[in-house]
Chain A
């Protein structure tokens, strides 16, 4: 079946512009995660959605970052007034959350964001 998809695959934007990154999780997966992979910081957690619960935003680096998940499915990560340090690969993952140890997080291919 289809895996996690993300769009765009690459995004180049000018400093100060807003960007939106999209994630389509695997159908039926109730949990959705955003991570960021950058040279200086490695792979870091950003935000976590689980069902209808309030999202865990503890990993968002600043208030310029926000994310929504509409209808329990598609998610959009928005970065306002982008800065050069926002340049990174943004990874989305989803999982079924069955409660067992086999709740594998399936990762999408990522969106490479370059802020010039």
Chain B
């Protein structure tokens, strides 16, 4: 079956850039997503990228997709303490279809 993997933990200092990495195995993945989960809160979609794109930028967020290596990354510029959360990457075959999630990366931002 499909598998999505992420490192468990990342710690950065406030103002630095954060890079969260994700690898997936399903070559038919059409959409790839980044979700944020803050303590006690639900999942919030941060951004998504279509599989025929290499990069997508949205304010402080940059998503890079290497389809050949099945590698997805999320870069957060000028990381703030409010960015501390768990970040999940996910993939789906089609929009409106079920998501396969990675295990989540806990980002800790130190002041």
Chain A residues with CB under 8 Å of chain B are 4, 31, 33, 35, 42-45, 48, 50, 56, 59, 91, 93, 95-110
Q: Closest CB of chain A to B107's CB: distance in Å?
A: 16
Query: What is the CA–CA distance of A18 and B100 in the complex, to the nearest angstrom?
Result: 27
A33: chain B residues within 8 A (beta carbon) = 98-99
Q: Which of the candidate stretches B11-19, B37-45, B63-71 sits at the interface with the other chain?
A: B37-45
Chain B residues with CB under 8 Å of chain A are 31, 41-45, 48, 50, 88, 95-104
User: Between A and B, how many residue pairs show CB distances below 8 Å?
Assistant: 53
Task: Please name the residue on chain A nearest to B30 by beta carbon.
Answer: A101
B104: chain A residues within 8 A (beta carbon) = 42-43
CB atoms of A48 and B42 under 8 A apart: no
B96: chain A residues within 8 A (beta carbon) = 31, 50, 95-99, 103
A107 touches which of B43, B102, B103 (Cβ 8 Å):
B43
Q: Closest CB of chain A to B43's CB: distance in Å?
A: 4
Known contacts A42-B103, A43-B104, A101-B31; decide if A59 and B98 are in contact (CB<8 Å): yes
A96: chain B residues within 8 A (beta carbon) = 96
Q: Closest CB of chain B to A27's CB: distance in Å?
A: 17
Q: List 9 A-B contacts (CB under 8 A).
A: A4-B42, A50-B96, A96-B96, A102-B95, A103-B96, A104-B45, A106-B45, A108-B42, A110-B42
Query: What is the CA–CA distance of A4 and B44 in the complex, to the nearest angstrom?
Result: 12
Query: What is the CA–CA distance of A108 and B41 in the complex, to the nearest angstrom?
Result: 9
Q: Closest CB of chain A to B99's CB: distance in Å?
A: 7
Most chain B CB within 10 A, of A35, A99, A105, A108, is at: A105
Most chain A CB within 10 A, of B95, B101, B103, is at: B95
CB atoms of A91 and B42 under 8 A apart: yes
